[in-house]
């Protein structure tokens, strides 16, 4: 007989794994974005039994509300070009790299679970205040102990905004020739690739 907590964990874990497999395996990027949404919701659900209510809310607002919407926005903007035609160039290298990654990851998983089970690390049950992981304790820490990282992350976000504006604008005054050269190079490379593909088939 499994308890309610276990059922909840395994439900969320199942949703997260299914979502991540959707991200990786589906052909269209919109389905991938929906899979990412599933992962985000499931992870936010898993934060709740870990006494991280504020993080669960942030997860919803920032990831599901901003990041997924931004991704969908870009995918819609690119339209059908967001699904490039598939070809099998470099398949061996990709599969080799992925399998090496998976094998080493499986070993790391087995090792870490072995090491962790030696710790008898089921969760301790201290008398926790209800506010642990809530917005009040978070705010207290963010504005006392961790105020420097908080300000640094604010600066990072500002720099990211400026960088996004500069990059997405397309061209800056004076670098128009550079961009034209790059375009010509890209066109030539695409032509060469097409020729090579035509020869190989």
Restricting to residues 131-170, name those near other proteins by CB under 8 A: 132-133, 137-138, 140-142, 144-146, 149, 153, 156-157, 159-161, 163-164, 167-168, 170
User: Shortest approach of other proteins to residue 199 CB, angstroms?
Assistant: 18
Does residue 84 touch other proteins according to CB under 8 A?
Answer: yes
Which residue in this structure is represented by tokens 């997860």?
59
Torsions phi, psi of 138, nearest 5?
-60, -45
Tokens of 160: 């990211």
Nearer of residues 129 and 195 to other proteins, judged by Cβ: 129
Pairwise CA distance, residues 196 & 198, whole Å: 5
Check: CB of residue 133 under 8 Å from CB of residue 54: yes
Which of residues 91 and 199 has its CB atom nearest to other proteins in the complex? 91
Could you say which residues in the range 24-43 bind other proteins, by CB under 8 A? 24, 29, 32-33, 35-36, 39-40, 43
Examine residue 185 and tell whether it contacts other proteins (CB under 8 A): yes
Compute the least distance from the CB of residue 130 to other proteins, in Å: 11
Any idea which residue has 């870009």 for tokens? 74
Is 175 a binder of other proteins (CB under 8 A)?
Answer: no
Q: Which residues contact 50 (CB under 8 A, 6 or more apart)?
A: 133
Structure tokens at 164: 């996004």
20 interacts with other proteins by CB under 8 A: yes
End-to-end CA distance of the chain: 59
> Least CB distance from residue 176 to other proteins, whole Å?
13
State the Cα angle at 42 between 150 and 57, rounded to 5°. 35
Residue 191 binds to other proteins (criterion: CB under 8 A): no
Is the CB of 164 or the CB of 176 nearer to other proteins? 164
Give the distance from CA 114 to its chain's centroid.
Answer: 28
Span 97-126, contacts to other proteins by CB under 8 A: 97-98, 101-102, 105-106, 108-109, 112-113, 116-117, 121-124, 126
> Does 63 interact with other proteins (rule: CB under 8 A)?
yes
């Amino acid at each position: 007989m499994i308890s309610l907590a276990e059922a909840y964990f395994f439900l969320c874990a199942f949703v997260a794994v299914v979502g991540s497999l959707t991200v990786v395996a589906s052909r269209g990027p919109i389905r991938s974005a929906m899979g990412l949404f599933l992962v985000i919701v499931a992870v936010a659900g898993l934060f709740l039994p870990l006494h991280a209510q504020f993080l669960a809310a942030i997860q919803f607002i920032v990831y599901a509300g901003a990041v997924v919407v931004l991704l969908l926005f870009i995918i819609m903007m690119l339209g059908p070009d967001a699904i490039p035609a598939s070809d099998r160039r470099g398949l061996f290298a990709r599969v080799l790299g992925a399998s090496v990654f998976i094998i080493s990851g499986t070993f790391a998983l087995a090792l870490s679970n072995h090491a962790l089970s030696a710790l008898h690390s089921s969760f301790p049950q201290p008398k926790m205040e209800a506010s642990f992981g809530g917005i009040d304790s978070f705010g207290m820490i963010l504005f006392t102990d961790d105020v420097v990282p908080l300000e640094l992350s604010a600066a990072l976000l500002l720099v990211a905004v400026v960088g996004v504006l500069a990059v997405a604008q397309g061209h800056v005054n004076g670098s128009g020739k550079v961009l034209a050269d790059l375009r010509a190079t890209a066109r030539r490379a695409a032509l060469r690739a097409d020729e090579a593909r035509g020869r190989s088939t």
